[in-house]
């Protein structure tokens, strides 16, 4: 009995020692990588290339080989886990080594567990973006091909016309046809034309998949590792796409593997791919099968039809929502929070609101000089520009001339003196005392970042220590602490008497600004209209009717603004009570309208070409004399009522923070 107990303790000690050895290994330099594993895991990809995908796959392999995916950290509070992982990211290798073991090991454990989730998401993101870039380049190459062949095609058509005229000429006998054709078009010219035509002939469905196939070798560089390190799942039984992905994995791991495609469900393959997928003998071309499968996998990951284990962005969609077993007890609380009751009551209320609005529109069409119907389409005349009186312009100039010119640094210090926003800049470890020089370095760090000077130039301009600036920036400036500062500034402005003249703080708007990015970053995208030959990002900001900016977010420029509209509104921790929000057309979709309503807020976007929008009724009503041609259909109430409980669970999940709005919207709008 005693020996068994000793053996059990010895076994437990072996496991603990094994983990300690692993965690110690993370702090040691890797000769191949030229850096420690800690720094290697910290450093994210800066571009969407095969090498970046391979490198990220190796990171995931390292974490899986260390069995990080099997660690049970459920006993650890998620916020505590995030806090410890943040310490691991901010601390240097030497700094972590100097910590006591009881501090060092928890930090490394949380860091590696968080890194597993981050690396999985980054790997799928890189795969997504590289495949998309290759796909879009293929489309552009096909467009260039069509433009380049216009002149050549015209020449071939003229020759075809000549041949046709000769063939249809009844004065030329059949035995003289060849001779007459060769007289107008020499045989060598005709052979050359036929050879050129063979290069111009495209498949019946003239798509760009053959150009996409030119990227096949580049894609093959990373696909074997990519498929081996990720575990894909689906909530749909007998998912043909998932089986196809497993077949690709078998192809990569077993060269002798031979799959009978006749037994595989190929319903996931779109119609456009099929002319490329099958050869003359109606056998599947493995290259096009692989490309098609990977492209469809990309779409399935974005839509949630296939999900990845240990991911946040590409996880099982069901995990984004309040668990069904908890929803039973939370439903009553959620309904009070959302101010929602039954679906029938909400539909009846919405129906009355819609009727009142349509009746108002119907009446205004009679006497309005800005609204009219032409060809069953609503025409809205543009608003006339507001005329500013000369006295107002003179007043503006007078005020501007009287405003003192001050240094930006002086303004920052003075506003901090009014509001005390720098108190929100807390040390990431929550243990560092505030020194007398702290505030000076914090102000300098903020200016260096906000003005894009960089810490080196700021150190030279201010005669401050570069190492101290870097240290303060690393440990004090974070998304959380800066947002806390913004919240304090917004609240201060909210209570200023002058702010009440602008608005009450319940209405806001959001819009994006696009900026070119001169450095390599995986989130930057090419958008020639805005960035020319370079790449860039969009800074999306939320502004209240009191002209205070209460939220901002960096988003990809190719993603519709509407995906992110709700994020800062729901994450708002200021005293602003946002009840109504407006955007431009890019910030609008029907889904956003629905979510705003479920969340108890008003969405009032400024939609371009509003006459092109379809107007639906909840029930058919023929009492409208003028707007009848605009009413295109009737809303299916049964679908809404049958899904009402799920709609409430979704809205409550977003409202209570189980999932960010952009994460769910990005999933549903793919």
DSSP for 574-597? SS----EEE--GGG--HHHHHHHH
C-alpha of 447 from chain center = 29
Distant-in-sequence, close-in-space partners of 465: CB < 8 Å, separation ≥ 6: 459
pLDDT at residue 30 in the model? 80
pLDDT at residue 435 in the model? 76
Query: Rounded to whole angstroms, how far apart are CA atoms 536 and 299?
Result: 24
Q: How confident is the model at residue 16 (pLDDT cuts 50, 70, 90)?
A: low
Query: Rounded to whole angstroms, how far apart are CA atoms 383 and 369?
Result: 11
| Residue 327 CB burial class (10 angstroms; 0-12, 13-18, ≥19) | middle
pLDDT at residue 18 in the model? 66
Query: Rounded to whole angstroms, how far apart are CA atoms 109 and 38?
Result: 12
pLDDT at residue 530 in the model? 78
pLDDT at residue 394 in the model? 95
What is the arithmetic mean of pLDDT over 497-510? 95
Query: Rounded to whole angstroms, how far apart are CA atoms 232 and 127?
Result: 14
Query: Rounded to whole angstroms, how far apart are CA atoms 131 and 419?
Result: 48
Query: Rounded to whole angstroms, how far apart are CA atoms 348 and 324?
Result: 27
Query: Rounded to whole angstroms, how far apart are CA atoms 53 and 124?
Result: 9
Would you call 30 helix, strand, or coil by DSSP? strand
**In degrees to the nearest 10, what's the CA dihedral of 450, 452, 455, 458?**
-80
Would you call 17 helix, strand, or coil by DSSP? helix
Q: How confident is the model at residue 256 (pLDDT cuts 50, 70, 90)?
A: low
Cα angle 59-63-64, degrees, rounded to a multiple of 5: 115
Q: Taking a C-beta distance cutoff of 8 angstroms, is the pair 245, 287 a contact?
A: no
pLDDT at residue 306 in the model? 93
Least-confidence region, from 114-123, 427-436, 481-490, 559-568 = 427-436
Cα angle 588-573-653, degrees, rounded to a multiple of 5: 60
Query: Rounded to whole angstroms, how far apart are CA atoms 290 and 284?
Result: 10
What is the arithmetic mean of pLDDT over 548-557? 92
- The beta strand positions in 206-255, using DSSP E, are 232-233
Query: Rounded to whole angstroms, how far apart are CA atoms 601 and 518?
Result: 39
Q: Taking a C-beta distance cutoff of 8 angstroms, is the pair 513, 541 a contact?
A: yes
Residue 381 has pLDDT above 80, yes or no: yes
**Among 58, 74, 63, 77, which residue's Cα sits nearest to residue 25?**
63
pLDDT at residue 130 in the model? 93
Question: What are the beta bridge partners of residue 377?
Answer: 374
Query: Rounded to whole angstroms, how far apart are CA atoms 377 and 632?
Result: 11
In Å, what is the CA distance from 357 to each residue of 329, 352, 364, 377, 607? 37, 9, 11, 18, 17
Residue 180 has pLDDT above 60, yes or no: yes
Q: How confident is the model at residue 664 (pLDDT cuts 50, 70, 90)?
A: confident
Residue 222 has pLDDT above 80, yes or no: yes
Tell me the angle at which helices 101-148 and 78-90 cross, rounded to the nearest 10 degrees.
Answer: 80
Q: Residue-wise over 538-570: b if at least 16 C-beta within 10 A, else e?
A: bebbbbbbbebebbbbebebebbbbbbbbbbbb
pLDDT at residue 7 in the model? 43
Query: Rounded to whole angstroms, how far apart are CA atoms 240 and 637?
Result: 33
pLDDT at residue 535 in the model? 86
How many C-beta atoms lie closer than 10 Å to residue 486's C-beta? 19
pLDDT at residue 183 in the model? 78
Tell which wins on pLDDT, 193 or 133: 133
Q: Which H helix or E strand runs over 554? A: strand 549-555
Question: What are the beta bridge partners of residue 379?
Answer: 372
Residue 576 has pLDDT above 80, yes or no: yes
Q: Which H helix or E strand runs over 603? A: strand 602-603
What is the arithmetic mean of pLDDT over 485-508? 95
How many C-beta atoms lie closer than 10 Å to residue 665's C-beta? 23
In Å, the largest CA–CA distance within the chain is 116
Q: Is beta strand 602-603 parallel, antiparallel or unpaired with respect to 549-555?
A: unpaired
Query: Rounded to whole angstroms, how far apart are CA atoms 62 and 68?
Result: 9
Q: Residue-wise over 89-106: b if at least 16 C-beta within 10 A, else e?
A: bbbebeebeeeeeeebbb
**431-451 pLDDT, tens digit each:** 666 777 899 999 999 999 998
Q: 668 phi and psi, to 5 degrees?
A: -80, -25
Q: Taking a C-beta distance cutoff of 8 angstroms, is the pair 294, 269 a contact?
A: no
pLDDT at residue 629 in the model? 83
Q: Taking a C-beta distance cutoff of 8 angstroms, is the pair 132, 140 a contact?
A: no
Tell which wins on pLDDT, 86 or 162: 86
Residue 424 has pLDDT above 90, yes or no: yes
pLDDT at residue 151 in the model? 67
Q: Taking a C-beta distance cutoff of 8 angstroms, is the pair 311, 231 a contact?
A: no
**In degrees to the nearest 10, what's the CA dihedral of 110, 116, 119, 123?**
-170
**Among 295, 281, 272, 282, which residue's Cα sits nearest to residue 216?**
295
pLDDT at residue 201 in the model? 62
Query: Rounded to whole angstroms, how far apart are CA atoms 61 and 639?
Result: 45
pLDDT at residue 12 in the model? 47
Q: How confident is the model at residue 669 (pLDDT cuts 50, 70, 90)?
A: low
In 3-state terms, the chain is what percent helix, strand and coil (to 5)?
60, 10, 30
Query: Rounded to whole angstroms, how far apart are CA atoms 148 and 525?
Result: 27
The residue count for the chain: 670
Residue 1 has pLDDT above 50, yes or no: no
Residue 597 has pLDDT above 90, yes or no: yes
Query: Rounded to whole angstroms, how far apart are CA atoms 664 and 650?
Result: 9
Distant-in-sequence, close-in-space partners of 182: CB < 8 Å, separation ≥ 6: 190
Query: Rounded to whole angstroms, how far apart are CA atoms 189 and 193?
Result: 6
Report the helix count and the strand count for the chain, using DSSP H and E: 29, 14
Residue 588 has pLDDT above 50, yes or no: yes
What is the arithmetic mean of pLDDT over 51-74? 91
Query: Rounded to whole angstroms, how far apart are CA atoms 133 and 76?
Result: 40
Query: Rounded to whole angstroms, how far apart are CA atoms 112 and 118?
Result: 10
Q: How confident is the model at residue 392 (pLDDT cuts 50, 70, 90)?
A: very high
Tell which wins on pLDDT, 13 or 321: 321
The DSSP secondary structure of 276-309, one letter per residue, reads HHB-TTSPBPHHHHHHHHHHHHHHHHHHTSSEET
- Strongest mean pLDDT among 83-97, 250-264, 498-512, 600-614: 498-512
Q: 508 phi and psi, to 5 degrees?
A: -145, 170
Average model confidence (pLDDT) for the chain? 86
Query: Rounded to whole angstroms, how far apart are CA atoms 55 and 618?
Result: 54
Q: How confident is the model at residue 670 (pLDDT cuts 50, 70, 90)?
A: low
pLDDT at residue 284 in the model? 83
pLDDT at residue 158 in the model? 76
């Amino acid at each position: 009995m005693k020996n068994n107990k000793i053996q059990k303790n010895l076994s437990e000690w072996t496991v603990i020692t094994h983990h300690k050895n692993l965690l110690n290994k993370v702090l040691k330099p890797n000769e191949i990588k030229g850096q420690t594993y800690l720094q290697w895991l910290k450093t994210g990809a800066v571009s969407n290339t095969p090498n970046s995908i391979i490198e990220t796959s190796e990171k995931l392999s390292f974490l899986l080989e260390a069995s990080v995916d099997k660690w049970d950290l459920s006993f650890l509070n998620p916020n505590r886990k995030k806090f410890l992982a943040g310490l691991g990211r901010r601390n240097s290798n030497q700094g972590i080594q100097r910590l006591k073991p009881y501090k060092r090991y928890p930090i490394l454990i949380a860091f590696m567990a968080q890194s597993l989730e981050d690396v999985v998401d980054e790997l799928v993101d890189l795969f997504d973006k590289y495949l998309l870039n290759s796909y879009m380049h293929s489309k552009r190459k096909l467009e260039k091909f069509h433009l380049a062949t216009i002149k050549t095609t015209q020449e071939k058509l003229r020759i075809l016309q000549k041949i046709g005229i000769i063939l249809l000429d009844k004065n030329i006998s059949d035995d003289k046809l060849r001779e007459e054709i060769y007289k107008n078009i020499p045989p060598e010219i005709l052979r050359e034309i036929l050879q050129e035509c063979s290069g111009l002939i495209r498949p019946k469905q003239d798509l760009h998949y053959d150009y996409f196939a030119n990227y096949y070798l580049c894609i093959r560089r990373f696909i074997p590792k990519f498929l081996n390190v990720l575990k894909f799942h689906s909530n749909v039984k007998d998912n043909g796409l998932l089986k196809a992905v497993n077949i690709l994995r078998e192809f990569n791991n077993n060269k002798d593997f031979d799959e009978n495609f006749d037994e595989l469900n190929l319903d996931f393959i779109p119609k456009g791919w099929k002319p490329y997928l099958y050869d003359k003998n109606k056998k599947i071309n493995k290259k096009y099968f692989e490309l098609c499968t990977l492209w469809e996998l990309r779409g399935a990951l974005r839509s949630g039809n296939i999900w990845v284990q240990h991911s946040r962005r590409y996880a099982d969609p069901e995990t984004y929502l309040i668990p069904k077993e908890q929803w039973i007890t939370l439903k009553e609380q959620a309904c009070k929070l959302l101010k929602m009751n039954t679906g029938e009551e909400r539909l009846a209320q919405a129906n009355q609101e819609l009727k009142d609005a349509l009746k108002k529109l119907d009446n205004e069409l009679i006497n309005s000089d800005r609204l009219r119907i032409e060809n069953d389409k609503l025409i809205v005349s543009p608003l006339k520009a507001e005329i500013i009186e000369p006295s107002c312009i003179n007043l503006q100039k007078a005020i501007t001339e009287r405003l003192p010119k001050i240094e930006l640094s002086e303004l920052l210090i003075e506003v901090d003196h009014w509001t005390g926003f720098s108190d929100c800049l807390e040390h990431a470890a929550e243990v560092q005392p505030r020194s007398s020089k702290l505030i000076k370095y914090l102000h300098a760090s903020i200016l260096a970042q906000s003005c894009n000077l960089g810490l080196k130039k700021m150190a030279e301009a201010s005669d401050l220590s570069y190492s101290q600036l870097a240290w303060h920036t690393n440990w004090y400036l974070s998304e959380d602490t800066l947002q806390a500062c913004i919240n304090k500034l917004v609240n201060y402005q909210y209570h200023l008497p002058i702010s009440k003249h602008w608005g009450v703080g319940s209405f806001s708007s959001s819009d994006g600004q696009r900026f070119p990015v001169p450095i390599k970053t995986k989130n930057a995208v090419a958008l020639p209209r805005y960035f020319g030959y370079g790449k860039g990002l969009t800074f999306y900001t939320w502004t209240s009717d009191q002209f205070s900016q209460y939220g901002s977010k960096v988003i990809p420029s190719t993603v519709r603004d509407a995906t992110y509209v709700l994020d800062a509104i729901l994450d708002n921790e200021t005293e602003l009570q946002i009840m109504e929000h407006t955007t431009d057309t890019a910030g609008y979709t029907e889904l956003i309208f629905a979510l705003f309503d479920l969340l108890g807020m008003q969405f009032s976007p400024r939609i371009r070409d509003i006459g092109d929008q379809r107007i639906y009724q909840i029930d058919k009503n023929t009492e409208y004399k003028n707007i009848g041609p605009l009413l295109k259909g009737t809303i299916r109430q049964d679908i809404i009522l049958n899904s009402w409980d799920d709609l409430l669970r979704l809205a409550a999940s977003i409202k209570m923070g189980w999932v960010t709005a952009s994460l769910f919207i990005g999933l549903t709008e793919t």
